């Protein structure tokens, strides 16, 4: 190739590179472009933010220096497209970031020249990070009162926090049942996981099932593309707080009982069995024993929930509490 053609080829490559830079700048998720050996030849600002490194510290480094996944480099070299590869990225500050990687191979005349790696947060993690509702704001210090009953309640909460057993909190409305539930979560070994609450009385019966168990794409009219995880999935590794459990309809009580027994769920409209990793804390202001007698609440579910019973006294009984 003569000098004129070489110069023209160089300019063409620069032009294409600038076009790629422009396109990648519009993508808000991390993107890495690698050669056939996995060496990074381009990236975008979203990747810089996640890695906490500038492009000059990333380019020409191997992708395995930043992205942890055993089969990733093999897929790049083979030119194998991948739709949903779970990977871990560790930032310069030591923070772990988990992504779903979509690999698009770059082929020239069937020869592998590299790949484009698109990194997105898994749907479940997106949902968990979307709202601060999945954290806790309260501790035992926020429980009002200093009576002997309140002191005993706090001590009991500290003792049972390390347990995995299901808790049933009883008490009148407005006594701070969720405050107690959050406090137990914060004292537990699941404290780094999400605290996910759902009020069984506040959600229409027709929506409660999909809110709890999630749904698959096409499960019903208006279902999101790709489906949606329910509260059980969102609470993975943490605590699920079922407030006003006495208002749960009987058919869902049966489904909840099965989950407590098998520790697995199925999304609405789905057939895949999903493992459940949550601690259940339930609460109610209702007289569940009377409801059982009137066939309004399942006795077998009651015994599953009432493993550790806690009672939150009303303010009027907290004698040392001054208004």
DSSP string, 159-200: HHTT--S-EEEE--TTS-HHHHHHHHHHHSTTTTS-EEEEET
**Per-residue pLDDT at 231 exceeds 90:** yes
Query: In the predicted model, what is the mean pLDDT of residues 189-212?
Result: 92
Output the pLDDT for position 128.
55
C-alpha span between 166 and 68 (Å, rounded): 36
pLDDT, tens digit, for every residue of 83-101? 888 898 988 888 888 888 9
β-strands 31-35, 40-43: how paired?
antiparallel
- The secondary element (H helix, E strand) that includes residue 265 is strand 264-265
With bands split at pLDDT 50, 70 and 90, how would you rate the model's confidence at 122?
low
Output the pLDDT for position 322.
44
235 near 196, Cβ under 8 Å?
yes
**Per-residue pLDDT at 216 exceeds 70:** yes
Output the pLDDT for position 131.
46
Which range, 10-24, 105-119, 179-193, 220-234, has the best average confidence (pLDDT)? 179-193
Domains of the chain by start residue, with CATH: 3-121 (3.30.450.20), 127-317 (3.40.50.300)
Sheet with 31-35: list strands edge to edge: 40-43, 31-35, 111-120, 96-108, 82-90, 67-68
**Per-residue pLDDT at 220 exceeds 60:** yes
pLDDT, tens digit, for every residue of 149-186? 999 999 999 999 999 999 999 999 888 999 999 999 99
List the beta bridge partners of residue 265.
274
- The secondary element (H helix, E strand) that includes residue 243 is strand 238-243
How far, in whole angstroms, is CA 133 from its chain's centroid? 12
Rounded to the nearest 5 degrees, what angle is found at the Cα of 314, between the Cα atoms of 292 and 165? 55
119 near 85, Cβ under 8 Å?
no
C-alpha span between 254 and 263 (Å, rounded): 14
pLDDT, tens digit, for every residue of 45-97? 889 989 999 888 999 999 999 999 989 999 999 998 998 888 989 888 888 88
Rounded to the nearest 5 degrees, what angle is found at the Cα of 322, between the Cα atoms of 320 and 323? 150
- The secondary element (H helix, E strand) that includes residue 56 is helix 55-58
- Beta-strand runs (E) in 9-110: 31-35, 40-43, 67-68, 82-90, 96-108
Structure tokens, 95: 């923070």
Output the pLDDT for position 221.
75
Mark residue 210 as left, alpha or beta (left: phi above 0; alpha: psi -120 to 50; beta: remaining). alpha
pTM: 0.61
With bands split at pLDDT 50, 70 and 90, how would you rate the model's confidence at 37?
very high
Nearest to 197 by CA among 285, 266, 283, 115: 283
Output the pLDDT for position 121.
76
Exposure b/e, 65-99, CB count within 10 A at least 16 = b:
ebbebeebbebbeebeebeebebebbeeeeeebeb
Lowest-confidence segment of 3-12, 94-103, 250-259, 291-300 by average pLDDT: 3-12
């Amino acid at each position: 190739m003569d000098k004129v053609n070489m110069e023209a080829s160089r300019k063409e490559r620069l032009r294409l590179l600038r076009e790629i830079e422009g396109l990648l700048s519009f993508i808000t998720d991390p993107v890495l472009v690698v050669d056939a050996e996995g060496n990074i030849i381009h990236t975008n600002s979203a990747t810089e933010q996640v890695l906490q490194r500038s492009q000059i510290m990333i380019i020409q480094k191997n992708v395995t220096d930043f992205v942890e996944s055993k089969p990733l480099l093999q897929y790049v070299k083979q030119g194998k497209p991948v739709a949903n590869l779970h990977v871990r990225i560790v930032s310069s500050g030591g923070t772990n970031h988990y992504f779903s990687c979509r690999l698009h191979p770059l082929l020239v005349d069937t020869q592998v020249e590299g790949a484009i790696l698109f990194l997105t947060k898994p749907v479940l993690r997106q949902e968990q990070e979307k709202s601060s509702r999945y954290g806790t704001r309260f501790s035992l210090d926020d429980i009002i009162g200093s009576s002997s009953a309140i002191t005993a309640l706090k001590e009991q909460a500290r003792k049972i926090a390390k347990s995995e057993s299901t808790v049933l909190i009883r008490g009148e409305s407005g006594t701070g049942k969720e405050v107690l539930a959050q406090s137990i979560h914060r004292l537990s070994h699941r404290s780094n996981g999400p605290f996910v609450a759902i009020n069984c009385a506040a959600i229409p019966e027709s929506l409660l099932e999909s809110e709890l168990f999630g749904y698959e794409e096409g499960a019903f009219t208006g279902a999101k593309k790709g489906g949606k995880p329910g509260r059980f999935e969102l609470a993975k590794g943490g605590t699920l707080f079922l407030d006003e459990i006495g208002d749960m309809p009987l058919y869902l009580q049966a489904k909840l009982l099965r989950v407590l027994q098998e520790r697995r769920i199925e999304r609405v409209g789905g057939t895949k069995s999903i493992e459940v990793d949550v601690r259940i804390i339930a609460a109610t202001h209702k007289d569940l024993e009377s409801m059982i007698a009137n066939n309004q609440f399942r006795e077998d579910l009651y015994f599953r929930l009432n493993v550790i019973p806690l009672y939150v006294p009303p303010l009027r009984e907290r004698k040392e509490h001054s208004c």
